[in-house]
Structure 1
Amino acid sequence: MIEIGIDSFVGTSLDATGLPVGEEQRMQQLLEAAALADSVGLDVFGIGEHHRPDYIASSPAVVLAAIAAQTKNIRLTSAVTVLSSDDPVRVFQQFATLDLISQGRAEIIVGRGSFIESYPLFGFDLQHYDALFTEKLGLLLQLRDEIYVHWSGKYRAPLTGQGVFPRPVQKKLPIRLGVGGTPASFVRAGQLGLPLVVAIIGGPFAPFRPYVDLYREAWRNAGHPEDEISVGIHTIGYVGETTEEAAETLYPGYEVVFSRIGSERGWPGSPRRQFDSSRGPDGALMVGSPEDIATKILQVNKDLGGIDRVTIQIDGAMVGHENLLAAINRLGGGVRPYLALQEPST
């Protein structure tokens, strides 16, 4: 069964009258959304790390701990932990603590980050973007496997046998590797035997198949168990009652967000053209009715040669709290049952 979940970067939002929602209220709304996701049977809830004025989740483990206290079953993950600009020891301790609070529901998705604000904020040089991540990922994996660690590297003080506590409930704290469109990142995940999460926020899914195949090939060549290969995707979307209602609800906020990011990064073209193209049958946006979303999940499962998780970022485009809750209800009450009926049995 393909897992279905929600990702949130806890972006700034608007209320029903179009006025900004305060940060305190926004955080309470997030907790309500996570509790609902748990109650309707979704599999995973992710919080992504950002250090920008338009997002307030700079500390995913703290937010996830609050969610853990209000939920029972849903898995709790960092939609991304920007490991390059963090300390692997603290990351491990925070998520081990989260695992204790949640009674074994914590996991980490590590990445280099698509935004770069955390690097100067914490005193790291962007020239070392990949080297920082490579070294710190190696240490994080060692911390998972060993209590008393001997390690030395270039970007952190050495460890000379110190114990790292607490230890998580899960014997092997799940660590997934979040990737974009860089082939080397897919290969790295396969070589290390790490579950893969592919961020696909526009365009079609199908062009990512060669990269996913690189991951599988690297995995096999490294001798990891075939049955442990894991491919998940993260995308953007909204589940409405109808296809058009979903598009009309998501697009206004999508336009604001992607116009801002496009201006920062010099992206060509219009958000509307990108939106309409990506919400089509072959596009990456999960925008439509519950049947539309389930059908698209099955299509991406085919396009990528098999996936086991889909997480959708719904609240990043300022859809409003009530619309977010409605979409979560449709994911649990509409998409999941439809998917269960259509998905081939294993």
Structure 2
Amino acid sequence: MEFGISTFGEIEADNLSGNAINAGRRVQQLIDEAKLADRLGLDVFALGEHHRPDYVVSAPEIILSAIASVTKNIKLTSAVTVLSSADPVRVFQNFATLDLVSNGRAEIMAGRGSFIESFPLFGFDLEDYNSLFSEKLELLLQINNNEHVTWHGKHRSALQNAGVYPRPYQQRLPIWIAVGGTPASVIRAGSFNLPVTIAILGGEPERFAPLVDLYRSSAKRAGFDPAQLQLCINEHTYIADTSEQASDEFWPVYETVMNRVGKERGWSPITRDYFEYLRSPVGSLLVGSADEVAEKLIKQYSIFHNTRFLAQTIMGNIAHQKMLHSIELFAGKVVPAVKAAIK
């Protein structure tokens, strides 16, 4: 199994037209986190695209290119690229360039995104939410497989034997599909034999087992070998030297971030009791000691048989040194324990 770090790059908004000190500091921190992850032997570093004041990453491929210049081995991917509101030609060009900069370490994780700000920002209609993603994914896959593309669709001008450059260092860019809990998304990914990342950011992981079964059965019906599919599980993670320390340090950050999002979406406020339930052995929140987190990941592997795990960080007001220590504990203690248990 591969192990990595994912993050949206949360920040306290500068609320200025210039002199974005907080944003600049957070970008440098992201680079430091990726350098550490690479040095510790983790496999993947992933940045999520958002277009909001509370997240610094709107162009993950640019920050990933900066990271590529100071790392050697770690794979670099978006988490996610909001393909529905992007131009697939430009997405491919940007990530092919990242692939050249990194000597073949770029990946794309394509999704519809967890927020909708990018749709009006780039002139797309939310009424076309589903058709936009389907059409643009089709085009992105064609570009990835062919240097010259002939294509036509509803939401973009047609291409007639158009060459798309540069081509990547790899023969093809790995393209993953990011899903939340939508059956149609995993059916599409399985039918195309594409790797999938499932974000489990609440509730009990076992609830997602039918989704994984549907993914594999869809691939089988399309004539592919389910045993060859790649599956990534992504969950919020924070590790400290003790369980109590992890809980006390992460709870204020988790409460602030999740209740801000919840207020926008009409969710009930998250309480400390529910937070502790999510930290329990049956919940999806990987917040605790290294031993606790390893035990939960081993159990989850028995459910999903996933080939990759991404630990999604939320820094908030946690001191950056503590976040770096969490990454150290993940790479130094959790990963070896999980690998030893699932051989």
TM category, shorter: over 0.9
Q: Measure the CA separation in 1 of the matches of 2:307 and 2:318.
A: 27
The answer for the alignment partner of 1:312 in structure 2 is 311
Q: Measure the CA separation in 2 of the matches of 1:132 and 1:83.
A: 8
The answer for the alignment partner of 2:2 in structure 1 is 3
Q: Please state how far the C-alpha of 1:274 moved relative to its aligned partner.
A: 3.1
C-alpha contact (below 8 Å) 1:9/1:47 kept by paired residues: yes
C-alpha contact (below 8 Å) 1:82/1:111 kept by paired residues: yes
The one-character-per-residue Cα deviations of 1:26-84 (angstroms, maximum 9, x if unpaired) are 11111111100100111100000000000010000001000000100111010100000
The one-character-per-residue Cα deviations of 1:120-145 (angstroms, maximum 9, x if unpaired) are 00000001001000000000000000
Unaligned residue ranges in structure 2 (runs of 5+): 14-19
The answer for the alignment partner of 1:35 in structure 2 is 35
C-alpha contact (below 8 Å) 2:315/2:323 kept by paired residues: no
1:1-346 equivalences in 2 (<5 Å): 2-12=1-11, 22-304=22-304, 306-343=305-342, 345=343
C-alpha contact (below 8 Å) 1:13/1:320 kept by paired residues: no
Describe the shift of the 1:342–1:13 C-alpha distance in structure 2 as closer, same or farther (beyond 3 A): farther
The one-character-per-residue Cα deviations of 1:90-121 (angstroms, maximum 9, x if unpaired) are 00000000001111111010000110000000
Amino acid in structure 2 at the alignment position of 1:338: A
Secondary structure of residue in 1 paired with 2:80: strand
Q: Measure the CA separation in 2 of the matches of 1:223 and 1:171.
A: 23
Q: Measure the CA separation in 1 of the matches of 2:310 and 2:187.
A: 22
Describe the shift of the 1:128–1:316 C-alpha distance in structure 2 as closer, same or farther (beyond 3 A): farther
Q: Measure the CA separation in 2 of the matches of 1:42 and 1:35.
A: 10
Q: Percent identity?
A: 48
Unaligned residue ranges in structure 1 (runs of 5+): 15-19
Q: Measure the CA separation in 2 of the matches of 1:29 and 1:270.
A: 28
C-alpha contact (below 8 Å) 1:13/1:319 kept by paired residues: no
Describe the shift of the 1:234–1:316 C-alpha distance in structure 2 as closer, same or farther (beyond 3 A): farther
Q: Measure the CA separation in 1 of the matches of 2:186 and 2:272.
A: 30
Aligned residue pairs: how many? 337
Q: Measure the CA separation in 1 of the matches of 2:289 and 2:12.
A: 23
Secondary structure of residue in 2 paired with 1:212: helix
Secondary structure of residue in 1 paired with 2:41: coil
C-alpha contact (below 8 Å) 1:11/1:318 kept by paired residues: no
* Cα RMSD after superposing both structures: 1.4
Q: Measure the CA separation in 2 of the matches of 1:275 and 1:317.
A: 16
Q: Measure the CA separation in 2 of the matches of 1:301 and 1:242.
A: 23
TM-score (norm 1): 0.95
C-alpha contact (below 8 Å) 1:13/1:21 kept by paired residues: no
Secondary structure of residue in 1 paired with 2:223: coil
C-alpha contact (below 8 Å) 1:13/1:26 kept by paired residues: no
Amino acid in structure 1 at the alignment position of 2:338: L
Secondary structure of residue in 2 paired with 1:22: helix
Q: Please state how far the C-alpha of 1:23 moved relative to its aligned partner.
A: 1.2
Q: Measure the CA separation in 1 of the matches of 2:211 and 2:11.
A: 33
Q: Measure the CA separation in 1 of the matches of 2:199 and 2:236.
A: 9
Q: Please state how far the C-alpha of 1:271 moved relative to its aligned partner.
A: 3.7
The one-character-per-residue Cα deviations of 1:188-218 (angstroms, maximum 9, x if unpaired) are 1100110010011011100100111000000
Q: Measure the CA separation in 2 of the matches of 1:326 and 1:200.
A: 23
Q: Measure the CA separation in 2 of the matches of 1:178 and 1:271.
A: 28
Q: Measure the CA separation in 2 of the matches of 1:179 and 1:331.
A: 24
